[in-house]
Amino acid sequence: MHYLKAPIYELKQTTREFRWSDAFVLLTITALLYLGVHFGFHAPEAVRGPNIVLEPSALPYYAFRSVLRMGAAYLLSLMFTLVYGYAAARSRRAEQILLPTLDVLQSVPILSFLPVVLLGLSAVMPERFAAELASVVLIFTSQVWNMTFSWYQSLTTLPKELREAAEIFRMNWWLKIRKLELPFGAIGLIWNSMMSWAGGWFFLMAAEIFTVGERDYRLPGLGAYLREASHQGNIPAILWGLGTLVLVIVLLDQLVWRPLVAWSEKFKLEMVEQETHASSWFYDVLRSSKLSERVSVFWERISERIDAWTLRVWPFQPERISERPQRGDTAWKLFMLVALILIAYSVLRSLHLLAQVEIGQWFAILQGVVTTALRVFTSLAIALCWTVPLGVYIGMNTRLASRLQPLVQIAASIPATALFPVFVLMLAQLPGGLNVAAIMLMLTGTQWYLLFNVIAGTMSIPQELRFTVTLLGLNRWQKWRVLILPALFPYLITGAITASGGAWNASIVAEYVEFGGRTLRVTGLGDLIAYSTAQGNFPLLLASTLTMITTVVLVNRLLWRRLYRIAASRYRME
Amino acid sequence: MTNGKTLVELEHVSQVYATGRKRFYAVQDINLTISEGEFVCLLGPSGCGKSTLLRLITGLQRPTEGRIRYRGEELRGVNPHASIVFQTFALFPWLSVQENVEVALKARGVPPKIRTACALDLLDRVGLDGFENAYPRELSGGMRQKVGFARAMAVEPELLCLDEPFSALDVLSSEALRGELMELWLDGKIPTKAILMVTHNIEEAAEMADRLIIMGTSPGRVIAEVNVDMPQPRHRKSPQFLKLIDQIYAILAGQTQPEPVEIGTAPGKPGITRWLPQIQISDLVGLLEHLAESSQPTYDIYQLTEDFGADSDLVLRLIDTAELLGFVRVGQGDVMLTPLGETFSEASILTRKEIFSTRIRRLPIFQWLINMLHLAENQSLKRDVVRAAIELELPPADAEKQLNTIIEWGRYGEVIAYDDETETIMLEPLVGQSVPGH
């Protein structure tokens, strides 16, 4: 159950109270949103997307385009991660921006940016290109932060003696990155890349097609294919599309991520031999092939040259390990000043824009907050109801766990946004159908996190405690109350935090749907965002987007963080 | 062995680190020289700044005050003629044994062929041939440290620095490795001009070094220098060696002073604050019982470390504690149980607690804390408040440890109570009364 690792360890870092820096980040987001909306005024009135063909033979091409988009966003994220994480570890200033940004963006429903980003971009560039870029930007925003944080964290937690060894043996910066920092950060980076990639599918599926009113943004890809298929009620096409998506995800997992994980085992810092190893058949095949031998010999020769060259160009520069250089004071202050003025201006303008929102509309927004929140918590409650008993059952039976693991992982890997068109197709005709569909979408996004966490929590209960409970002759209810629930609590909270974040995100695509020439709506904040985009009501769009961000951040800080702190201090199994 | 040429010179070197507005000395006003041909040992309890001093000498850190010269020239940046063998080995786990050694040469621009030959030769010399392609995690601790030595020697340093190189190893492998190092050094098989070793292990220092620089804590400073004029190899059982060990223990354990000097003053008051040593109370009880069981009036401290098979550092801290509480008297490397100590060791669990309680109430640091609690609302204080008060005098990490010790002692003596959940320190309701048991 490797998938759990990332969220748990991320959260440990971010259990802080609200700070001024959070407010700063929120204001910056406001400013950026305002800029998007500002450009959005000039967005073309009507946009025609390309036709999506439902022939199964078109699927490889669509899958290829989707993967390409993901790849582009991921590459961008990786580059940003390496550069920015490095900067953050070296300079206090970059660090001061990174941590709160990460903190807020982790909880902000990133999907709520989509309309603003799309409209803003399509005002300044051709629609097709704008849609491509918007999807890449969105995926980038969703996946970059935890990667950057992981890289930053490994850079700052590098054992001091290893750093000193690199110093005393006079490695230049290049050798330090190659022999020390990258190997040390590799495991975290690869795990977080996997998490980011999985999260990226969710956004890609939603970002490939966004139809509001006369504006029809669509990109050739799997997400658009699925939506079009359900739009036309073409069940075989839906199945073909879902099958292709699962196939692509599984292939990527088997051919890229598993081998990477197996390979990265050698970068473990622990000095004890592990009993279990991550295994990958593909990695074993690669490693034993003649080709890989040649490649590695070739690589050795190249890297030797590069190393020698860097040593000539950048000879060893002693670095004071205990001190961090602080340079460019004036330049930094100037930069901050300009940034602050820009932000302040944009925030003022956005306030001006917000002033145009009528009282009645604010009331609608408030109503939207409540109803969407109700939907989010309902989906969470439903998810808890079935994941806790099942998760505990699986966790107690290790055999079952290992047999179910691949199945659950495949099921969990299907992004909820890809299933949504199917739900709508099934439920649209029923009264209150969209309501049910919306909750189901949230549920698909949330339940897996919870299930994984429950299983991990159960497996973390020490065998001795289980024996003790049996020896004491506690009945089933007492057993749950004394042992299982307290042990699960931290895991449930961790799962619930991630899950509720996903659910808020989902509301944006779930509450307002154009389907079969009709527009289906249910009251909610997500509906308001989509509706105001369709109407070109930019003040309302800005107001509802900002409200959603603020609500989610507040709920996170005031509810989840507190629960998490209690969980971490009182119910930890250590 | 010394031919007199000075290699390293330290003049009034201090290292200060600041947290907030407070400044603390890690080491203060150090003067020392290391000459060619010398094996010098920095010896002292944990926290005396000996590792900091090693990092200053190698140039990994820059001193806040004073000068460090290498061969007469002021040291700028990392000393290219020095290398370090680390306590935790500091090997790159993702590189093979051979690559670990080679990478040190690669960084100096040595071409691949020469590099490989040199690495293989060194691994051969430390007895690791056959393990070139192994990864560090496949090796035992002793073998890992051999890689550490091979890597440090690969760059042919003039000054070889050893930072507690044997303390992470088991007894047998550290013994073997010490012997092998001494052989390489004494036979001149390595181009090293001088060795500087940091250790808290007294026997190890006495066995290997030509000169011991003994350091004390708060602030870290040199308290004595001892020249060892014994030929190698030295035998641990020889009377001469035992005398030397005794002498070192006498320096490190000091002499019991009159009580006001011994217990010091409260934090914030003029005079030296006597912080509590970091020990487990059960260990203290064990020590006192052991002393009481022996029929001798005085006990050799060195003998105690032998009896317990314990670290000299721990034994010294325990004796320090017993001395502070008035349970023992210390002088000339010997320790003697006081009548109070005798009573304590023979008492029941509850009486022990009571004696402990009355003793710690005499310590200025507890009086200071009790006084603060009396003045506080509800006679209770948040943990953070007390820690902040201690941080006025101690660096944060030390303050945290000190507070933990205070709480542990206070809880044992039932002088204060502590609530883990709310992180509050409270006065025990029975304060001031002497109630036998409950």
Mean pLDDT by 10 residues, chain B (438 residues): 75 82 82 91 86 90 88 86 90 90 89 90 87 88 89 89 88 86 86 90 88 85 87 84 86 78 76 83 88 82 82 86 88 85 88 89 88 85 87 83 90 87 79 45
The residue of chain A with its CA nearest to that of B90 is: A162
Q: Note whether B107 contacts A: Cβ–Cβ < 8 A.
A: yes
Task: Pick out chain A residues at pLDDT < 70.
Answer: 1-21, 44-49, 103, 106-107, 212-213, 270-278, 319-329, 516-517, 572-574
Q: Which domains does chain A have, with CATH numbers?
A: 59-267+275-279+358-570 (1.10.3720.10)
Residue from B137, B139, B156 to probe the interface with A (highest A Cβ count within 10 Å)? B137
Residue A272 — left, alpha, or beta (φ > 0 → left; ψ -120 to 50 → alpha)?
A: beta
SS in 3 state form for chain B? CCCCCEEEEEEEEEEEEEECCEEEEEEEEEEEEEECCCEEEEECCCCCCHHHHHHHHHCCCCCCEEEEEECCEECCCCCCCEEEECCCCCCCCCCCHHHHHHHHHHCCCCCHHHHHHHHHHHHHHCCCCCCCCCCHHHCCHHHHHHHHHHHHHHCCCCEEEEECCCCCCCHHHHHHHHHHHHHHHHCCCCCCCEEEEEECCHHHHHHHCCEEEEEECCCEEEEEEEECCCCCCCCCCCHHHHHHHHHHHHHHHCCCCCHHHHHEECCCCCCCECCCCCCCHHHHHHHHHHHHHCCCCEEEHHHHHHHHCCCHHHHHHHHHHHHHCCCEEEECCEEEECHHHHHHHHCCHHHHHHHHHHHHHCCHHHHHHHHHHHHCHHHEEEHHHHHHHHHCCCCHHHHHHHHHHHHHHHHHCCCEEEECCCCEEEECCCCCCCCCCC
Query: What pLDDT is recorded for position A274?
Result: 57
Q: What is the DSSP string of A228-274?
A: HHHHTT-HHHHHHHHHHHHHHHHHHIIIIIHHHHHHHGGG----S--
- Chain B positions touching A164 (Cβ under 8 A) are 55, 60, 84, 86, 90
Q: Express each pLDDT in B322-372 by its tens digit.
A: 888 888 888 888 888 888 888 888 888 888 888 989 888 888 888 888 888
B 76-105 near A (Cβ less than 8 A): 76-78, 80, 82-84, 86-88, 90, 92-95, 103-104
Residue from A169, A269, A565 to probe the interface with B (highest B Cβ count within 10 Å)? A169
Q: What is the least distance, in Å, from the CA of B94 to any CA of chain A?
A: 5
Q: Note whether B112 contacts A: Cβ–Cβ < 8 A.
A: yes
Between CA A370 and CA A311 the distance in angstroms is: 61
AA identity, residue B69: R
Query: What pLDDT is recorded for position A79?
Result: 94
Query: What pLDDT is recorded for position A76?
Result: 93
- SS3 of A414, please? coil
- Chain A positions touching B106 (Cβ under 8 A) are 175, 307
Query: What pLDDT is recorded for position A271?
Result: 62
Closest partner residue to A168 (CB to CB) among B84, B94, B144 is B84
Q: Note whether A171 contacts B: Cβ–Cβ < 8 A.
A: yes
Q: Note whether A275 contacts B: Cβ–Cβ < 8 A.
A: no
C-alpha distances out from residue B294 to A120, A213, B288, B289, B347, Å: 87, 95, 10, 9, 17
Q: What is the pTM of this model?
A: 0.80
- Chain A positions touching B135 (Cβ under 8 A) are 266
Short-list A360, A384, A404, A355, CA closest to A496? A384
- Chain B positions touching A180 (Cβ under 8 A) are 92
Query: What pLDDT is recorded for position B438?
Result: 42
Query: What pLDDT is recorded for position A159?
Result: 87
Q: Note whether A300 contacts B: Cβ–Cβ < 8 A.
A: no
Q: Note whether B55 contacts A: Cβ–Cβ < 8 A.
A: yes
Query: What pLDDT is recorded for position A484?
Result: 85
Q: Note whether B421 contacts A: Cβ–Cβ < 8 A.
A: yes
- Chain B positions touching A312 (Cβ under 8 A) are 109
- SS3 of A216, please? strand
Residue B239's contacts (CB-CB under 8 Å, 6 or more residues apart) are none
Mean pLDDT across chain A: 80
Per the CB < 8 Å rule, is B86 touching A164?
A: yes
Query: What pLDDT is recorded for position A276?
Result: 60
The angle subtended at Cα A400 by Cα A396 and Cα A401, nearest 5°, is 70
Closest partner residue to A168 (CB to CB) among B83, B103, B112 is B83
Q: Which two tokens stand for residue A557?
A: 């800080």
Per the CB < 8 Å rule, is A161 touching B87?
A: yes
Per the CB < 8 Å rule, is A175 touching B103?
A: yes
AA identity, residue B125: R
Q: What are phi and psi of B109, to 5 degrees?
A: 80, 20
The residues with which B8 forms a beta bridge, in sequence order, are B34, B70
Residue from A161, A162, A168 to probe the interface with B (highest B Cβ count within 10 Å)? A168
Short-list B275, B274, B204, B221, CA closest to B48? B221
The residue of chain B with its CA nearest to that of A566 is: B421
Between CA A2 and CA A501 the distance in angstroms is: 20
Short-list B183, B333, B312, B176, CA closest to B249? B333
Q: Note whether A161 contacts B: Cβ–Cβ < 8 A.
A: yes
The residue of chain A with its CA nearest to that of B108 is: A170
Per the CB < 8 Å rule, is B136 touching A164?
A: no
What angle, 0 to 180 degrees and rounded to 10, lies between the N-to-C axes of helices A538-555 and A485-510? 180
Report yes or no: A185 and A157 within 8 Å, Cβ to Cβ.
no
- Chain A positions touching B134 (Cβ under 8 A) are none
Query: What pLDDT is recorded for position A67?
Result: 92
Q: Note whether A313 contacts B: Cβ–Cβ < 8 A.
A: no
